[in-house]
Every structure is written in structure tokens, then in C-alpha cells.
Structure 1
Amino acid sequence: MLLSVVRREKRRRWALVAAVAVTLIAVPAAVKAVAPSSAQADAGRLRTLILRSAPQPYQGYAESVGSMALPELPNSGNLTSLLNGKTRLRVWYASPEESRVSVLTAAGEQDIYRTIGNAYSWDYETNLLTQLVGEPPIRTPRAGDLLPPELARRLLGAVPQDPVTPLPSRRIAGIAAPGLRLIPADPATTLGQIDVWADQITGLPLAVEVTARGQNSPVLTTAFAELRQTRPLLDFPARLPGSGYSVTNAPDIAYDLGALAQVQLPGKIAGRELRTGAENSQGAGVYGSGLAAFVVVAVPRDLGAAISDAAARAGSAPVQLNTGNGQALQISPASLLIVRSTKTRRWFLLAGTVTPGLLHLAATELSGLPR
């Protein structure tokens, strides 16, 4: 199992899920809204509308389905349900600063609320309201990141210059939606194509399909089944008698994996710049740009050994470096490498939707760093 914000969040996330999650959370997208000049939007104009659709309010029900055969890894939580199963989501979105996303489960629901300046999680099963404080450099992904508008804007916004081609329209949630296909130009990414269908007037993405390079079927799909493009009336959470209440830092990768804060990551690895967490890496950072970004986390010795053992049981291949050794695991489109430096005896976890060769090069450089 891998990372999760759907269930318990304390130190139970992030292993292979970093491979896909980095493309879901690391790329902001925000542009002004415009209207098309005609009813038939070509692929380039449709992409512009999509990237400018963040102000569009909406409410509805969506389902995402992941088909990655993810192994069980330590401290990874339950994100398997997001990347290797069906996730049912109900959303009320007033603006980028005000929204509510409910993950519907057999036991009830788990909600994430965003208000201006605040965020909260609500767990129906435990009757617990939690205020989430701060904006971590590398936020732990949430189920809401897989909503069609969020996923489409992040993926398309990561590579705004890559060419797009039109796809036949589909009727989604009662809307005739034109589509586009983006094939990433960077050979270092393992993502093969991204298909998006959107409202041709508002640009709101209605469905997304992500396919790994060399495959024919999507590894991740998300689409609305019900949708109204109107501003919802949001009922924000309040402390009620009989319910639990807590305050905690917003979930982040460094905390979830117990990253070694004293390890200062280098500003560049394998020719890729440190993009996130440069001011204070806290032992975790995102390297690279576009869809060929990858995560590096300096993990504790016991966790590194446990991830290495779990990866080996899942069919990983041993890796021998000049000053280190480890295990490499690929579950398309995700690549993972857990390596131990024989020079400093430190463990590093590397993961991303990138080629194994890029991670190998990065691991070689990391394992050779001085203590």
C-alpha cells in the first residue's frame, strides 16, 4: 500500500506513491478565465481555457479509477485506494480558496475543507475535526487532487508548451465535451499521453485519462458523473459538542516518511534543479520540471531497510553503485529506487514518473555525497 490522505495520516504515507503524486501536487496552475470565440474550440484554445478555468465554480460527483499494481511498502498508508482502485468523490467548489471534497466510503466519509486562510479535515468514522496548519513545501497529496479539474490543470500546466491534438467529443455528465491529447515531449518521463475532455465554454475539465508510455490502456482515469457549474452553498465545519477536535500541521512528505531534517539535499542532482523545498529541504525535495520531476527523501535507517526489503519482495532488481547499493522497482509509470550509501550509511528514497536511468544517475550522485 502507498501514501494516503483518505485515512489515518500520521507517518503512514509516501513510498512508491511519490512517483505519481509528484505530478499531481508539484505544479500550480492559475490563469485568467476567457471565453472562446466560437463554439468549436480547437485543441490549443481548449488547453488555454482549461488552464484558465480555476475561478469557475462547480459542484458534483466524480469517480477516479487507478490500475497500478502497487506493492505494500512501509509507512505508506492507504493511497492504494487512489492509485489502484475506485475512489468516489463529492465536491463543492466555490473558488480556489473555498471548497469541500468528500471521499465516500463504506464506513462514511472523510472530508477536506478549504476556507480563506484555513484548511480542515473531518473523519465521519472517528467523529474528529482537525485543523490543518501551514503550507508545507511538498504537501501530501489528497484525494481531491484526482478530481478532473485539479488533475487536468496540474498535468497540462506542467508542460504548457508541449503540443496537443484534438480528440473526438464525449458526453460527460450531460455535457458534450471536446477533448485533447498531450504527448509529453521530454523523453525522461514515463507518462505516454494525457487525454482531457472539457466544457468548451467554461474550460472546466470533465474527464482525464493518463496512460503510461508504451501502454494502450490508461493507468488512471477520473470523470464526473454528475455536475452543475454553479456556486455551491458551503457549510464549513464547526466544533460541535461530542465531537473531537485537534490541530496539526498540514500533512507533508518530509513528516510522513520521517525524513532526516539534518540532511541538506544538494541544489542539483542528475542535472535537475531542486524545485521544491530549496530554502529548507528538511531532508525531502522535488527535482526537475514538467512531467519528468522526481522526489528525493533522506529516510531513517530502519525505514530505508524496510522499504528495500519490501521492494525486493515485490520483484525489484538489485542496484550496485560505486558508493552504494539498493533496490530498483518499476510499476509503470512509476519508478522507485531505494539506495544506501556505503560512504555515509545514509538511505535515500527516489521516486517519480521518470525513467529508471534518471533515478540511477541521481542515486549515484547522492550516494557519493560527503556526510
Structure 2
Amino acid sequence: MSTVVSRAARRRWASVAGGTALLVGSLGVAPWAWSAVGVAPTSASAEAVVERALASGDVSYSATGESRGSLALPDVRGFGGLASLVGGTTRTRIWWAGDSHWRVDVVGLTGEQDTYGLPSSTTTWDYETRRLVTVAGEPSARLPRADDLVAPRAVQRLLSALGPTDRLSLLPARRIGGRDADGLRVVPGDARSTIARAEVWVDRATGLPLRLRMVDRAGDDALVTTLSGVRLGRPDDEVLRPPTTSTARRELETAPDLVARLAARSTWQMPDELAGLQASDPAAAGTPTYGTGLVRVAVLPLPGRLTREVVANVTSAGSVSEDVAGGSLVRVGSSLLNVVLAVGDDGRHAYVITGLVDPTLLDELATELLASPPPLRYGR
């Protein structure tokens, strides 16, 4: 069965509000396992599976998680642990009461880092450094965190981005971690996407996404993220509460990383269209996203005073600068995620351009921006 996502379905997905009964349970640890034996085919359509997954944000559960990425990005100073997050294995413990009340612990060989999601803030507790950092609000742009790669969140972001030309089809149901799961294949409708296909498995009873497999155009697994040991039911409130230890070094921030700081300081009035791609929200002139469906490109204007530092960090990690009309380009790439740093000859205009798209598309946006630099934002 194959289908194309309808406009009406996309509107419904955008307005879905999740709500499920809370069942009693506790955290369990179990190895991830799946089996196709004895699982009856689903009677739901591919669109219905998508809608159930998007409506599952408030399904309460506890679980362990594992994400494995094979994106060979250089470890660039200023971009935190992005390279290891998308290029290695991350193991997590998850307690989820809803989209605005959750906890995700990253368990590593040298320590543990816990992130607590609250309605108006996010708090991170690092056991090793004794740092308790609270970020007020949600930045307009930021680097990915480990909780972004937890299977339910990763699947929901993928499915919420689907466009009218992206194709859906059902996969055979599986038994994942002791639960019946309906399978879904997503194929981008635009060949400029670096995603060849994505495979999703969704818990039949609750709609909770249990597994995501993203395959690149070479046919290799670029990202696989899975839940195991799932226990339904609201976690205890004490588990969801950030620590109050008196020995912690407490910090309050509004911009948790370099990307968030750059987004907050944007000075240019970005165009409503680049390389034939419309801005998804032209009013958000500082950090727009261009494109639709699974071909989307984020453009982050880079303040001139930080350009040299960022270029030096990227080139020191092995990337090479190439002169083009109006400036220069520095490319950072992998099988799935590509980045172009575009720097204008005037020394004032510079941009970080990135997406799960072919690097030639990023070059098109970059050269267009360098050829026609945007003016200052109104009122600045």
C-alpha cells in the first residue's frame, strides 16, 4: 500500500493534541528485540499510523533508549557534543509525563548528565562537574540534545515535517520489546533529500513511536534510535524534579549554545525565498527555514565578530575554504547532514546553512546570499 500525504491530513497533524489514560508502571530495563512472528497486520492506513504517532506526545511512559548515528562530522569547537551525538552511540534512561514534563538521562562511561523538561524551562544536571544549568524558554534555534534523538521525539519531528509529495507506505508489523508495533516507510518526494527512506515502528495500542531507522542514499543506516523496556504510566513526580543539592554550581541562561546565541543576535532581514525555496515563516526574519517536506534548509546569519572564530574552528577540523563570487564557502558534510559556512567579501555578511539535503542545494543558497546580501533588519 502506498499513499501521498494529503493537505487535509497535514492540517490535522499540526493541530493534534495528545491525550491518553495513565497506566501504572515503572522503569524496566530490557534489551531491544523484535520479531515479526505472530503479529497480525494492521487494519489502519498509513495516514492513520502517522496521526497516532503525532498524537502520542502526552503518552506517559518510562523506558531505556539507544541511538546510533554514523554521521562522520568533524568535532568543531563551539558546537558542543554534536559530532559524538550523531556519530556514535548514546544510551539514555527516559521518564516521560508529557511534552512539557519529562526527564532524559544520558549514561556514559565517565558520568551521567540528566535533562529535565519543564513547561517554561529546561534544566541540565551534570554529575561530574556539579553544574546545574537552567535555560529559560525555548530558543528559536539550538544544537540537538540527546533527548531530541529519543525515538518518540525523533519520529514526531520527522512526521510533522512531511510535505505533500513525500510518500508513505505500510511495513509489516513487528513485535518490538514485547509490544505490537505497526510499521511505516517514508520516502522523500524530492530527490535533493539525503534521506533515501525512513522506517518507523509505532506502538499499536498507544501510538508511541518505538523505533526509527533512517537510511542514506548509499543504503547505509545513518541513524537508528530505539526504545526498550517500555512501561506505560506517569512517572513519579520526584523523579521528574531537578535536584536541589546545595553543592551544585547554578547557572541561568537564555541561549544554551553557540547556535542559540547566534539566532538571538541576528541582524539581517533575510529574504522570503532562496534558490527557489520559500521561507517557512518569512516573518521570522532572523533564522528562517527554507523549503517544504523533507527538503528543508536552515539559514543562520553569523555576526561578523564571530565569523573568524567559527571559520578557524571549522577549518582546523579539516574543512577547506573555497573562493566563490562574492566570498568564500567552507563545507562540512556527512552522508545525511550537510553544512556550508558562507562568508562574504565585505566581512560583514556570513551564514551557517545546513540541512538533510544534497550539498549542491546548500551551495545554491549560499552563492545567492553572497551575490545579493540582505539588508539590516527593520528597526536595527
Which TM class, normalised by the smaller chain length? 0.7 to 0.9
**One-letter amino acid of the counterpart of residue 57, structure 2:** A
5 Å-filtered alignment, 1:226-237, equals 226-235=229-238, 236-237=241-242
**One-letter amino acid of the counterpart of residue 311, structure 2:** A
**One-letter amino acid of the counterpart of residue 256, structure 2:** P
Distance in 2 (alpha carbons) for counterparts of 1:294 and 1:272: 9
Check if 1:275 corresponds to 2:260.
no
Cross-structure match for 1:287: 290
> Which of 129, 132, 136 is the aligned partner of 1:133?
136
Which consecutive aligned stretches of 4+ in structure 1 deviate over 6 angstroms post-superposition? none
Native 8 Å contact 2:19 2:58 kept in 1? no
Native 8 Å contact 2:79 2:143 kept in 1? no
Native 8 Å contact 1:178 1:200 kept in 2? yes
Cross-structure match for 1:326: 329
> Which of 170, 176, 180 is the aligned partner of 1:176?
180
* Alignment deviations for residues 153-178 of structure 1 (CA, whole Å, 9 cap, x no partner): 11011106432112122322211212
SS of residue matched to 1:309: helix
Check if 1:223 corresponds to 2:208.
no
Q: CA RMSD in A?
A: 2.7
| Worse overlay, 146-155 or 329-338 | 329-338
* Alignment deviations for residues 20-55 of structure 1 (CA, whole Å, 9 cap, x no partner): xxxxxxxx96614599xx964343321221121112
**One-letter amino acid of the counterpart of residue 52, structure 2:** L
SS of residue matched to 1:366: helix
Distance in 2 (alpha carbons) for counterparts of 1:34 and 1:112: 23
Q: How has the CA–CA distance of structure 1 residues 179 and 255 changed in structure 2, closer, same or farther, with 3 Å as cutoff?
A: closer
Distance in 2 (alpha carbons) for counterparts of 1:94 and 1:259: 30
Distance in 2 (alpha carbons) for counterparts of 1:223 and 1:290: 24
SS of residue matched to 1:206: strand
Q: Normalised by the size of structure 2, how large is the TM-score?
A: 0.80
Cα deviation for residue 252 of structure 1 reads: 5.4
Q: How has the CA–CA distance of structure 1 residues 56 and 305 changed in structure 2, closer, same or farther, with 3 Å as cutoff?
A: closer
Cross-structure match for 2:312: 306
> Which of 16, 36, 42 is the aligned partner of 1:31?
16
Cross-structure match for 1:246: 251
**One-letter amino acid of the counterpart of residue 177, structure 2:** A
Native 8 Å contact 1:268 1:274 kept in 2? yes
Cross-structure match for 1:22: none
Check if 1:211 corresponds to 2:227.
no
> Which of 90, 97, 107 is the aligned partner of 2:100?
97
**One-letter amino acid of the counterpart of residue 301, structure 1:** T
Cα deviation for residue 94 of structure 1 reads: 0.7
Q: How has the CA–CA distance of structure 1 residues 285 and 251 changed in structure 2, closer, same or farther, with 3 Å as cutoff?
A: farther
Cα deviation for residue 246 of structure 1 reads: 1.9
Distance in 2 (alpha carbons) for counterparts of 1:152 and 1:233: 25
Distance in 1 (alpha carbons) for counterparts of 2:197 and 2:42: 26
**One-letter amino acid of the counterpart of residue 137, structure 2:** G
Cα deviation for residue 140 of structure 1 reads: 3.0
Cα deviation for residue 61 of structure 1 reads: 0.3
**One-letter amino acid of the counterpart of residue 118, structure 1:** S
The answer for unaligned runs of 5 or more in structure 1 is 1-27
Q: How has the CA–CA distance of structure 1 residues 108 and 301 changed in structure 2, closer, same or farther, with 3 Å as cutoff?
A: closer
Distance in 2 (alpha carbons) for counterparts of 1:178 and 1:29: 21
**One-letter amino acid of the counterpart of residue 186, structure 1:** D
Distance in 2 (alpha carbons) for counterparts of 1:361 and 1:328: 13
5 Å-filtered alignment, 1:14-93, equals 31-33=16-18, 40-93=43-96
Q: How many residues align?
A: 336
**One-letter amino acid of the counterpart of residue 245, structure 2:** L
Distance in 2 (alpha carbons) for counterparts of 1:297 and 1:241: 38
Which is greater in Rg? 2
Cross-structure match for 2:200: 196
**One-letter amino acid of the counterpart of residue 80, structure 2:** G
Distance in 2 (alpha carbons) for counterparts of 1:196 and 1:295: 24
Cα deviation for residue 343 of structure 1 reads: 4.5
Q: Normalised by the size of structure 1, how large is the TM-score?
A: 0.82
